[in-house]
Amino acid sequence: MTISHFSFPTAIEFGAGARKLVARHLLDRGFKRPLIVTDQALAALPVLAEFKTHLAGLEVAVFRGVFGNPTCSQVMEGAAAYRAHQADCIIGFGGGAALDVAKLVGVAATHAGDILAYVWDHPQVRPIEHALPYFVALPTTSGTGSEVGRSSVVSENDTHLKRVVFSPKILAKHVFADPELTLGLPAHVTAATGMDALTHNIESYLSPAYHPLCDGIALEGTRIAAAALLTAVNEPGNLQARSDMMMASMMGAIAFQKDLGAVHSCAHALGAVCDLHHGLANALMIDTVMAWNFEVVPGKFDELAHVCKVAGGGQAFVPWLQQLRSSVGISGGLAAHGVTPEQLPRLVAIAMADICHQTNPRPCTAADFEALFKAAM
């Protein structure tokens, strides 16, 4: 597999072995002291140790304080690690959580105050006005596409509410998308992150916002993910399937600058209240929300069915989603994953407060969200 170069707008090196280009890239630009931002579990695995063998010539420190759904305190601890190392650049290495934290470590290391002051809906939101550290990203999962995103999602420490910092300034300067880094992913992680990537593409396409560029990317991303996900789960060493899922993940994140929908509002609530993995939460809600959306945009469902090679047109798309979810090992409803009826009021309140549903093709009320959560139980 050869390495391909894209700029969209982030410069991307894509292909097996791309991770080996990082050291030369940084050294050629005068950087010598990177801080690697990664998560606790990944830091203990051979994949990080192997990556570090390709960083000869650099004085590397590792911040491994990311875990679960990332929190504001993890960002602030990462910024302290950046200053302690006297770092001159940041390498984000991991899944969506690690990459979201890595984006904001640079903000917190160079700007005053808590990172919550920079979230988009803060009453006195602070601008990102200073130059940020040079930041490169290496995804190790194929789900969020955070490596090419201009937003970062972190949770409040106490309430676990997800908050968003949005700015083109936090985009990675360069992405090294190496599908070999995903070869060791367990099947359940491949499935959950893969359903996340598929959800991003589908919801972006269904958003009523006007963005034909993103529509084209979202449809193609949906096609690629639909064709590759089951193989990636069942054949973990299949490099082509892993490569396809990594591409679909990036395409979904590029497309969702058009916006997302009610699936994500539900998933964000499930993450805040139940601490569910984001990709799993999307997988548990997508068929229920899509069945509800179908009647308002049936033509778009026809297009989705077409690119996914689903016989029977748009009416068969939701049953196909249900079968795909089951085939990749994600079974049961919300109750089977620990969600209880007592949590419904808070789930509904957080989903209603979430911005994503504002671009759902069908407007959502609190009663709608209650019905959707109950249907997904």
Domains delineated in the chain:
4-182 (3.40.50.1970), 187-376 (1.20.1090.10)
C-alpha neighbours within 13 Å on the C-beta side of residue 233: 21
Whether 330 has a pLDDT exceeding 80, the answer reads: yes
Looking at residue 122, its pLDDT comes to: 76
> Does position 151 have pLDDT exceeding 90, yes or no?
no
More confident residue, 193 or 163: 193
Position 1 scores a pLDDT of: 59
Instruction: Give the pLDDT confidence score for residue 159 in this predicted structure.
Output: 80
Q: Which of 79-83, 120-124, 148-152, 360-364 has the lowest mean pLDDT?
A: 120-124
Helix (H) or strand (E) holding 157: none
Residue 154's H or E segment, with its range, is: strand 151-155
Per-residue pLDDT, averaged over 319-329, amounts to 96
pLDDT band at 2 (very low <50, low <70, confident <90, very high): confident
Give the mean pLDDT of 262-274.
95
Q: Is the predicted pLDDT of residue 69 greater than 90, yes or no?
A: no
Three-class DSSP category at 37 = strand
- Residue 23 main-chain phi, psi, to 5 deg: -60, -50
**Residues near 225 by Cβ (< 8 Å), separated by ≥ 6?**
194, 197, 198, 201, 244, 245, 248, 249, 252
* Cα–Cα distance, 58 to 55 (Å, whole number): 6
Mean pLDDT of the chain: 94
| pLDDT of amino acid 120 | 75
Per-residue model confidence as pLDDT tens digits over 335-372: 999 999 999 999 999 999 998 999 999 999 999 999 99
- What token pair was written down for 301? 């469902």
In 8-150, DSSP assigns E strands to: 11-14, 34-39, 61-66, 89-94, 134-139
The DSSP symbol for 314 reads G
Q: Is the pLDDT of residue 257 over 70?
A: yes
d(CA 166, CA 151): 4
Interval 291-296 mean pLDDT: 96
Q: How confident is the model at residue 327 (pLDDT cuts 50, 70, 90)?
A: very high
